[in-house]
Amino acid sequence: MTLRKTILYSIVLVSGAVVLSLEILASRILQPKFGSSVFVWGSLIAVFMAGLAAGYYLGGHLSDRFTSFIDFGLLLLLSAVLLGGLPVFSTQVCGAIFRALHTDSVERTGPLLASLALFFIPTTALGTVSPFAVRLLADDPSRLGRQVGALYALSTLGSIVGTLGTTFYLILWLQMPLAIFLLGVIQALLAFLALAYGLLGRSAK
Amino acid sequence: MRIRVWMVLFCFLATSLGHAYDVIFEGESLYHHVYVTEEDGYRYLAFDETRGTQSAMKISDPIFLHYVYARLVFAGLAFCDEPKDVLFVGLGGASMPKFFRHHYGEATIDIAEIDPVVVEVAKKYFQFAEDERMKVYVKDGRVFLSKSDKKYDLIFLDAYNTASIPFHLTTKEFMEEVRRHLKPNGVVVSNIWSPDMNKYFEAEIKTFQATFPELYIFPGLSSGNYIFITTNRAGQVPKHTVVERAAQITREKKFHFDLADLLQSTYQYATHRPCREQVLTDDHAPVEVLRTQRTE
């Protein structure tokens, strides 16, 4: 396997883990304010799917325009900033939404609004990773099918690791703001990986 | 070979289905699989068949408290003034609200229960009825409290003994919210289920200690339940005072059991009980994991 492929596969794998880790942690952010009603999970899953859908679409478009590893790195860096900044205002946003809503509607509407406000944009950024990686990977059209398949599989395997790792370990080990911040750090490391490869590759040419 | 396997399976199913109790209601709610069963003159509420019962009602006497821990819960009465405003977080089979309603007809009772099916079942099968002084709010307990300014003499927290502990009802921030809703002499009674000594139990003790000036623990004797009593006011209420007041209440209210006897054998002053675990907070409350970790 080439270095290029290894890097892309790793980024997709780890980003897949970060998405689901964020989703589990998100439930821990919403529950203290909006309770443990089913609406918390329903809203979260819906908003994460919406964010990923938007990200796939956007990522596909962007990857046709910007085709370098450096662009990819910058996109990853954006997701890192969005994630790392999340704990700075998440409590205040939840509080403001909670106060703004009437007591009869807060349990249903609150989690949906808070999920949208806090997690739609970060998950959109995370969603751009896979299509962008596909574009950078696709060097040989005759092998495109298996390469895209491998990327999807790795992303989803990463999600499994993210889910289990977060519920069984991360929640136990880390305070909430730190755990989310850690996800930002992980995305930043991926960004530097892509940037380094892009820059070194360019100077090598 | 295959036939033999099926026969074994069939026999196994036949015996496991041949319970002595009758299932009189079975339904799916958003949160639980709810069972109502009957056996030997008692009606039981259970969530998910494999787990213990949530509540029991003697069919001939719906006010009767079958479980020791359900009686122990009323230890809270020995720590506060005559209660006028009371809140129950968690309804279950409504045995405690019904008992309280029966003996304290003048008090106003609010009940927060998250599961609408549980409320329906309590009304249909456990002789629970709302009236002008007893109202149920189908809400998460914490959401209910955060949106209210009402103050209570007694708050009963009974939402911890289901399959997963709602972590947001275990934290210091939640306890502070609860305390904000107490009158100066108010008391909180919590039913903590902990069949073995685990780190969650220790952490919960620590969290109560960190929020309230005084903590008393009454072990449920025959079950894994522990009744935690916390007071808004500082100052230990000594055992003999608690027992005397319990005796007086038992006499005046004509309880069907002797509360004084029960408290005499279970009273533990736990305000200064040493705990190694950390306080649970909204940012860090890994209650499910802690619950699986035993303490020596």
* B52 pLDDT higher than 90: no
Q: What is the mean pLDDT of chain B?
A: 91
Q: What is the mean pLDDT of chain A?
A: 94
Q: Mean pLDDT throughout B75-96?
A: 95
Q: Label residue B224 by pLDDT band (50, 70, 90).
A: confident
* B11 pLDDT higher than 60: no
Give percent of chain B above pLDDT 70.
91
Distance from CA of A106 to the nearest CA of B (A): 8
**Which residue in the set A36, A38, A176 is minimally distant from B166, CB to CB?**
A36
What pLDDT was estimated at residue B221? 82
Q: Mean pLDDT throughout A85-102?
A: 95
**Domain at B68-291: CATH architecture:** 3-Layer(aba) Sandwich (3.40)
Q: Mean pLDDT throughout B181-197?
A: 92
Highest average pLDDT, of A141-155, B33-47, B50-64, B262-276, comes from B262-276
Q: Label residue A141 by pLDDT band (50, 70, 90).
A: confident
Q: Where are the domains of chain B?
A: 68-291
Question: Which is more confident, A1 or B264?
Answer: B264
Query: Residue A149: which domain range?
Result: 3-204
**Which residue in the set A35, A103, A172 is minimally distant from B114, CB to CB?**
A35
What pLDDT was estimated at residue B16? 52
Is B196 assigned a catalytic role? Answer: no
Whether A35 and B284 lie within 8 Å, measured CB to CB: no
Q: Mean pLDDT throughout B82-108?
A: 96
Nearest residue in chain B measured CA to CA from A33:
B143
Q: Label residue A187 by pLDDT band (50, 70, 90).
A: very high
User: Of the listed B110, B115, B153, B158, which one is catalytic?
Assistant: B158
**Which residue in the set A32, A38, A107 is minimally distant from B282, CB to CB?**
A32
Total tally of structural domains belonging to chain A: 1
Q: What is the CATH number of the domain that holds A56?
A: 1.20.1250.20
What pLDDT was estimated at residue A113? 98
Q: Label residue B295 by pLDDT band (50, 70, 90).
A: confident
Q: Label residue A143 by pLDDT band (50, 70, 90).
A: confident
For residue B169, the chain A residues in CB contact (below 8 A) are: 36
ipTM for this prediction: 0.88
Please state the pTM of the whole predicted model: 0.90
Give percent of chain B above pLDDT 90.
75
Q: Mean pLDDT throughout B262-288?
A: 95
Q: Mean pLDDT throughout B185-200?
A: 91
Least confident of A53-62, B7-16, B68-77, B188-197: B7-16
Between residues 39 and 98 of chain A, which touch chain B (CB distance below 8 Å)? Answer: 98
Distance from CA of A123 to the nearest CA of B (A): 22
Nearest residue in chain B measured CA to CA from A32:
B168
Least confident of A138-142, B23-27, B136-140, B243-247: A138-142
Q: What's the pLDDT tens digit per position in B96-133?
A: 999 999 999 999 999 999 999 999 999 999 999 999 99
DSSP structure string for chain B: -HHHHHHHHHHHHHHHH--SSEEEEEEE-SS-EEEEEEETTEEEEEESTTSPEEEEEETTBTT---SHHHHHGGGGGGGSSS-SEEEEE--TT-HHHHHHHHH-TTSEEEEEES-HHHHHHHHHHS----BTTEEEEES-HHHHHHT----EEEEEE----SSS--GGGTSHHHHHHHHHTEEEEEEEEEEEE-SS-BHHHHHHHHHHHHHSSEEEEEE-TTSSEEEEEEESS-S---HHHHHHHHHHHHHHHT-SS-HHHHHHHH--B-TT----SPPPBTTB--HHHHHTSB--
Q: Mean pLDDT throughout B201-216?
A: 97
